[in-house]
Structure 1
Amino acid sequence: MSFLLPIFLFLVGFFPNPAFCENAVSSMRFELIHSDGPELLGTAIKPENRLKHFRELVHRDFYRKKMVSEMLGRRRRATELSGDGNSFAMPMSSGAYARTGQYFVRFQVGTPAQKFLLVADTGSDLTWMNCRYRCRNCTNPGGRRRRVFHADSSSSFSPVKCSSAACQRLPFSLTTCPAPESPCAYDYRYADGSYAKGIFADESTTVTLSSGERVKLKGVVIGCSSSFDGSSFRAADGVLGLARSNHSFAVKATDHAGGKFSYCLVDHLSPKNASGYLSFGSATTPSDCKSAMQHTRLLLDPLLDPFYAVQVTGISVGGILLPIPRVVWDASSQGGVILDSGSSLTMLAEPAYRAVLSALSAPLMAFPKVDNKPFDFCFNVSGGGYKEDLVPILAVHLDGAARFEPPVKSYVIDVADGVKCIGILSASWPAISTIGNILQQNFLWEFDLHNGRLGFEPSTCGP
């Protein structure tokens, strides 16, 4: 399970998908809204300054990096889910204004449906929320204003029995089983010390199709958390699990919706009203709509579960391929690369990081250098003269001749007034490298789980 993704997703309903150029195919989508809106119950806190904000993101990213290192190599046993081919989607937006770097989703669960705000996490197996089940005199974690899922009020809530085989397959399930009919309990521990404790259950979630029809996804595994704690949850009611595990919401939803899900992340420092989306379903491109989408394969190896790994073949800066040892990109050895919307900043294994840092910083040496840890290269632009075209183009080369070229603003980032930094961090070798959400912003990313393929193309993420 993961430390939480520094992206908060709000599932608020359907709107047209510009990046897909969709025809009449039905899809499901959820909106990603900024985290300082009224939906967050007044919990938003603007950072005192950008540098403090980025230092907090880096702190969380290092915890997440530790979690990724611990999780890779673990195998996930899975159960097969069925679907009917429909698709759906949800809007997304940056959580920078809540000093979290996360995105939220508005999620509807139970019968009748109850609404919650969940952190969307590509490294979490479990979808869980603040919950009460057959509980007397319960306290409400996080204060009286936090939403609570009243499981006893849902006719579709069905606890998983601790004596069942399903309980043994679920992640972080406890071995204690007071009686055969007792619920299967869990204790999720996150790398930053946050935790969630509760019971597993099968439930129904409500989604809205692109046609406007509201349908229920049945048999979704959720966690009913009677207690949880940690700064990661200060503005949310729980977590939406988007990892590549048959227990996650992402796999359940894609099985229902054509085998694909996608997201588009707006700039993390976009205006409050900017939003992207999280979509589930297969969209087609009409003949009069030209797509710039490139594709590479997803490395769907059980040893890499539950993360989304890709095969990088090299990195170039200014059109020159950097001398990075191939072992850095070898997931079967001690390297490899994952695409992680849950990490804010990109972290490269040390040999790759040094080569990239040297190549990017060389043309920027004329600007006064500024010491702004944890970044290794920052410079002052308040004196003028800086233009983005001074920065060489960074390109990540992927298997299948795909080439990911993020905009300069995604790797030379504003961290304070008049100060920019190369926004990439080092991971001590051996290590897996992580492409974080800031580098991913303003692109549409499509995860085709059924065909083991990743697609990507530039996008404004707008309506």
Structure 2
Amino acid sequence: MASLSPLSLLLLLIFAFADQCTSQNTTTTECLKLPLLHRSPFLSPAEALSRDYHRLSAFHNRAVPKYPVVSGASSGSGQYFVSLRLGTPPQNLLLIADTGSDLIWVKCSACNTKCSAATHVPGSAFLARHSSTFSPHHCFDSPCRLVPHPPRSRCNHTSRLHTPCRYQYSYSDGSVTSGFFSKETTTLNTSAGREARLKSLAFGCGFRVSGPSVSGASFNGAHGVMGLGRGPISFSSQLGRRFGNKFSYCLMDYTISPPPTSFLTIGHNVFPRVSRIRFTPLQTNPLSPSFYYIGIQSVSVNGAKLPINPSVWSVDERGNGGTVIDSGTTLTFLAEPAYRQVLAAFKRQVRRLPSLPEPTPGFDLCVNVSGVSRPSLPRLSFRLVGNSVFSPPPRNHFIETADQVMCLAIQPVNSEIGFSVIGNLMQQGFLLEFDRERSRLGFSRHGCALP
């Protein structure tokens, strides 16, 4: 996730497990297709967005069911939520879907069957003791080497036979989740009414969770995080071993009512053949291996290429810079030199629209569109490596922060200590296919409405 300032359109994804998807030539299940539920609440600005970017800048140790995406503007979060059924019997949990991290973790409770209302709010956490299939990894287990550990946490030959694997995941704003790195059964429902069980899903059972990124307003309603990053412990990696090393999703327009349905799909043949799908190579940053980097060659506003030095988009020897695609970030963040050029170009394009008597806190550009039946807002385009062009409509980078007030939903970031981010608002209405097998990102304006 990412952000440094104001208000947000926080979108929630709920990946509920639904349809069975198969290839055209076989009846073998090849992917999981989950319905996504999107909610788009407006929170008090700067706070929520800054938490977003801190979350993305975190330290990360580095056939087929479907899941729908529906819009429901009402919550107060800012993320996409995944519905995960964990344990035996299954417990329903909502996790933030985050392509910017690897670890799957949930808030855990040590309550047993005698828990009182005073000690446990029903549905607020995963009850490990209520599951017959819950088991912490031992500190000697190989998966334990894939997560960061608390200070002074040791596992050596003097460790007791049942010493659990302890993890501690820290974020740049000081937020922390820690507990036992564990394994559990997850239950997937298909539209045919059958249940499929995936055993030994590795996840963090978090008994201590603190800090704004994981407990503040931007985390409203969430029980944890589902990492969809590129590392071996992410949800997409663990399921990829069974369903293919590919996943895709589509985020529908948050302004549409009633909310449309779309899907997160994990596996091969994630969609029927989509026309006009374009690809750009996924790049790697050895110092930040979890992230999905793409290469930007140039940026245009209303077709006019901006004079931005190409070096602005490169990753330096310290691992800073570059551009990340992230479902867990609401707004888009551009390296400061590029942002200034984009902002100046947008200001020139909207100078005929009425200005506001008072600036909107946290935004550098806002316009009054009252009385304008079809306001003409500038269009931003990114030319990517591979000569593909990602050109979202203006509604993907202008948001209504007050009645008839539209603000530019892009923020600057210091590329010397961070990176640019294409957030989930900018991704709306596009089918995005993360093909990890071929190390490429596919995108198309066609395919979101496919059944």
Give structure 1 stretches of 5+ with no counterpart.
36-45, 77-85
Tell whether 2:416 aligns with 1:419: no
Equivalent residue runs for 1:62-461 within 5 Å: 62-69=50-57, 71=59, 76=62, 86-94=63-71, 96-133=73-110, 144-173=121-150, 175-177=152-154, 179-208=160-189, 213-229=194-210, 230-231=215-216, 232-271=218-257, 273-283=259-269, 291-333=275-317, 334-370=320-356, 371-384=359-372, 386-387=374-375, 390-430=376-416, 431-459=418-446, 461=448
SS at match of 1:303: coil
Aligned twin of 1:82: none
Task: Note closer, same or farther for the CA distance 1:166–1:13 as it changes in structure 2 (3 Å cut).
Answer: closer
Q: Structure 1 171/275 Cα, relative in aligned 2: closer, same or farther at 3 Å?
A: farther
Residue type of the partner of 1:90? Answer: Y
Counterpart-to-counterpart distance in 1, 2:120 and 2:175: 17
**What CA deviation, in whole Å up to 9, does each residue of 1:23-55 have, x standing for no partner?**
9674311122245xxxxxxxxxx96xx5xx3x4
- 1:456 Cα deviation after fit: 0.5
Report how far residue 404 of structure 1 moved: 0.5
**CA shift for structure 1 position 380:** 0.8
Q: What is the Cα deviation at residue 312 of structure 1?
A: 0.9
Q: Distance in 2 between matches of 1:301 and 1:357?
A: 28
Amino acid at match of 2:199: K
Render the CA deviation track for 1:182-217: whole Å, top value 9, x for unaligned: 211223334455443321112222224577653222
Q: CA deviation at 1:424?
A: 1.1
What is the TM-score of this pair, normalised by structure 2? 0.84
- Higher alpha-carbon deviation: 133-142 or 162-171: 133-142
SS of residue in 2 equivalent to 1:33:
strand
Q: Is the 8 A contact 1:75 1:303 kept in 2?
A: no
Residues 193-247 of structure 1: CA deviation (Å, up to 9, x unaligned): 5443321112222224577653222232112223434124431222212122111
Measure, in 2, the Cα distance between the counterparts of 1:140 and 1:195: 26
Letter matched to residue 302 of structure 2 = G
Give the Cα–Cα distance (whole angstroms) in 2 for the partners of residues 104 and 164 of structure 1: 30
Q: What amino acid is aligned across from residue 448 of structure 1 in structure 2?
A: D
1:323 positional shift: 0.7
Q: For 2:232, what is the secondary structure of its paired residue?
A: coil
1:445 alignment partner AA: L
Of residues 441-450 and 62-71 in structure 1, the stretch that sits farther from structure 2 once superposed is: 62-71
Shift, 1:348, TM fit: 0.5
Q: Tell whether 2:36 aligns with 1:32.
A: yes
Report the residue type matching 2:371 in the other structure: G
Separation (CA, whole Å) in 1 of partners of 2:402 and 2:191: 41
Whether the aligned pair in 2 keeps the contact of 1:442 and 1:460 (CA below 8 Å) is no
CA distance in 2, matches of 1:193, 1:137: 34
Partner amino acid for 2:185? Answer: S
Q: Is the 8 A contact 2:339 2:412 kept in 1?
A: yes
Segment drifting more, 146-155 vs 450-459: 146-155
Which residue number corresponds to residue 8 of structure 1?
A: 12
For structure 2, list consecutive stretches of 5 or more residues without a partner in the other structure.
Answer: 4-8
